[in-house]
Structure 1
């Protein structure tokens, strides 16, 4: 389906490479499928991710000190360098021969040195960008009073963290989302299956089952994503195409709205 969307957009935007966003909860397979599509169409399709433009560890440490300790954890709005993402997209569109695609080292929890980013030879026929909260609607301020999990209840007692996340999503992320020519959303069956998928990813990466301590740490980690993920699962996003998945990530139907 992504390929067909890209071809349609290319026909309508011959003057520039169309920008296609793919959103979906953790573990839904968005990055995997985008990567496969880009590899199958090398070097014509450029692909990078919201995960590639996380803020540095130092930046998040300062944000955690100045705003709220939960900002040390990457993922929620406010922990991405959207200016870097936008600049990279623009340079790809200009066929800048020196453009490199940003990368983030999740094991080191820090940005990969820019000299080690992969170059993109171009010119691009399409730019594919994926991200878990891509296209999410702004959060209703009144909804922030209803706590969704233990993380918010125990570690964000004053609400500063979730209020700041909501502000970032509204003030900085919404303008970024508007730059996309098309948005596709991979719809998981439920929040509970999202946690299962994330656990499967971790076990696959380690090559073994998670220990009880690792499962507890993962439970806490995914809570940082829960509020916005639940809102998107309820349809609060701007994607035109919704790809409904079953618990095994098989496509059950495609909805256009």
Structure 2
């Protein structure tokens, strides 16, 4: 059991003992921080009926994002930021879990960049003791207009010079996403040492995806190249930096990680 899993498992046990159940636990962390591995470890605890919903599995498909790109801003063709998820579906799932009902958990295929058909979703019988809702911006707060003014990277400088994309994303984060995150009972943060490590972590993830595709007889070229990764993570940079700055002050549990994902502090 890794240090992060042991620490979070102890916290979850105390939260479950305090009741009521089900507990909806949000786990936030940048790309590659180990959220999915942590979530899988938590649901394997004996005596607890648990399941995992990933924010990534709520991504809209390419056609829906193409509409957003046409009607709002071209950068919304790329999955990732608020506005590119099916928030209503997420709310419905969390509400059903809270009501003790069985649910079907959606799944998204990153290689094809499309949601899987509903027939391939995971069926989970209710009631649950624990639902883990994990994602790179789970629990994130919107920024002020002042914070939005200056671009944070080349993508924003060259493709969003007037700030229209980041204002639209921020408005979504301030609205429907806060309604989704309000359904969380507890929030844990895996805090990277800084955004600079995220490129390396994301590159590792893509290498794992490439290997998995090859093992499944699919084209490894469906995974992103290093150049594509560099552009891709710039879509996430603004909100990730904001999370690292402000979320530790309000999360129920924060694990500060080093560049090898080892826990160096907890609050």
Q: Would the TM-score normalized by the shorter structure come out above 0.5?
A: yes
- In structure 2, what is the Cα distance between the partners aligned to 1:100 and 1:137? 28
Match of 2:191 among 187, 210, 214: 187
Aligned to 1:7: 13
* Partner SS state of residue 100, structure 1: strand
Q: CA deviation at 1:246?
A: 0.8
Matched, 1:60 2:65: yes
Match of 2:241 among 230, 243, 255: 230
Preserved CA contact (<8 Å) 1:182 1:240: yes
Aligned to 2:204: 200
- In structure 1, what is the Cα distance between the partners aligned to 2:151 and 2:172? 19
CA gap 1:172/1:191 in 2 versus in 1, 3 angstroms? same
Q: What is the RMSD of the two structures over their aligned residues, measured on CA atoms?
A: 1.9
Q: Which residues of 2 match residues 18-33 of structure 1 at below 5 A?
A: 18-33=23-38
Matched, 1:110 2:121: no
Q: Which residues of 2 match residues 1-257 of structure 1 at below 5 A?
A: 1-14=7-20, 16-41=21-46, 44-97=49-102, 99-207=103-211, 214-236=225-247, 238-255=250-267
Q: CA deviation at 1:4?
A: 2.4
Q: CA deviation at 1:55?
A: 1.5
Preserved CA contact (<8 Å) 1:43 1:122: no
Unaligned runs of 5+ in 2: 1-6, 215-220
Q: Which moved more, 1:34-43 or 1:20-29?
A: 34-43
What TM-score do you get using the length of structure 2 for normalisation? 0.88
Q: CA deviation at 1:43?
A: 6.9
Unaligned runs of 5+ in 1: none
- In structure 1, what is the Cα distance between the partners aligned to 2:121 and 2:48? 16
Preserved CA contact (<8 Å) 1:187 1:244: yes
Total equivalences in the alignment: 250
Q: CA deviation at 1:51?
A: 0.5
Preserved CA contact (<8 Å) 1:43 1:121: no
